[in-house]
Amino acid sequence: IVQRYDILLIEEIRDSSGKAIYKLLEEVNRLGEDQFEREPFVVKFSISNSGVGEIIIAGVHIDPDVAVQEIDALASVHDDLMAHWNTNNIIIMGDFQCRLWLCYKQGIVQRYDILLIEEIRDSSGKAIYKLLEEVNRLGPEVYDIVLSERLGRTSSKEQYAFMYSKSNVKVLDQYQYHDREDQFEREPFVVKFSISNSGVGEIIIAGVHIDPDVAVQEIDALASVHDDLMAHWNTNNIIIMGDFNADCGYVTNKESANLELRDPKYKWLIKDGQDTTTKSSDCTYDRIIVTGDKLFKNIIPGSGNVYYYDEDYGLTEKQV
């Protein structure tokens, strides 16, 4: 009836509370949203000897392509059922198709206050913000990102992004490393953070994706990056992290032992021999290197490990 027309006049509204007309508006708009690929099917049951009496059960098969949106819409389904049958004894069940999305909530993103995301090749710039939107939709923690320029000597450009918890972390400054000697395929991207309740206060984190073809040379150049950051911000509380390609065919054991960053003033949190890949190979490519007395004192012993989320969530190599 309502949706046959662009404009309707409704008269004789006598509801003194003023709620009835808005309830009608809400119901009309809800019906017109087409939120589900397959609408929930709802049955009211009476179960003897259950201690409950009557219950409402809604079954639904969520569309995996828009899982987050459809799951969010189930809150409106619940409210509609509660109003329709005047009860809150409601069960919503079915295939929610959200296991991979829940990984963000239950163990991948929200395990951390700060994450470095590398190899962002999406030229439109939309993909990283889509990820941010989905992470924040799942909640409860709210994240934001700080994004580098598109980097690389060739037409194949990449970006770095730091994703951080807004409740615990503040971005104070950012800095695209000035690679005057053109030592890096993708220059380090550096952010100055303030972290509440960390015991450190302000820290500098530099993210880098080392070119595997010249891995030894680029990793050695990170010592100059460290010195540049220390002079730029007058602090030695510095973390350099990312995909160093620092193992297997790219960096030999002998070359690794002779790197400038093997000086004792640099602490390597991810030890040699830890597999940081998602494939069947066993290589320690990704590294976190820390300097500064405050940072050293606040590192929890044994915390610099690789999180194998594929094992935690039973994911295949293809899903990972």
Buried b / exposed e across 48-87, counting CB within 10 Å, b at 16+?
eeeeeeebbbbebbbeeeebbebbebbeebeebbeeeeee
Q: Is 11 a catalytic residue?
A: no
Separation of alpha carbons 143 and 109, rounded Å: 9
CA nearest 145: which of 121, 168, 117? 117
Catalytic one of 134, 158, 202, 255:
158
* Amino acid letter, 227: D
How far does Cα 144 stand from its chain's mean position?
A: 9
51 Cβ contact list (under 8 Å, min separation 6): none
Report the alpha-carbon angle 204-103-113, nearest 5.
20
CB-based contact 290:238 (threshold 8 Å): yes
How is residue 229 written in tokens? Answer: 């950051």
Separation of alpha carbons 284 and 210, rounded Å: 13
In sequence order, the β-bridge partners of residue 90 are 56
CB atoms near residue 241 (< 10 Å): 20
Catalytic one of 185, 209, 218, 226:
209
Q: Is 158 a catalytic residue?
A: yes
Q: Give the DSSP H/E element, type plus range, for residue 240.
A: strand 238-243
**Cα–Cα separations (whole angstroms), residue 165 to 74, 114, 142, 211:** 27, 7, 6, 29
CB-based contact 194:294 (threshold 8 Å): no
Residues belonging to the active site: 158, 209
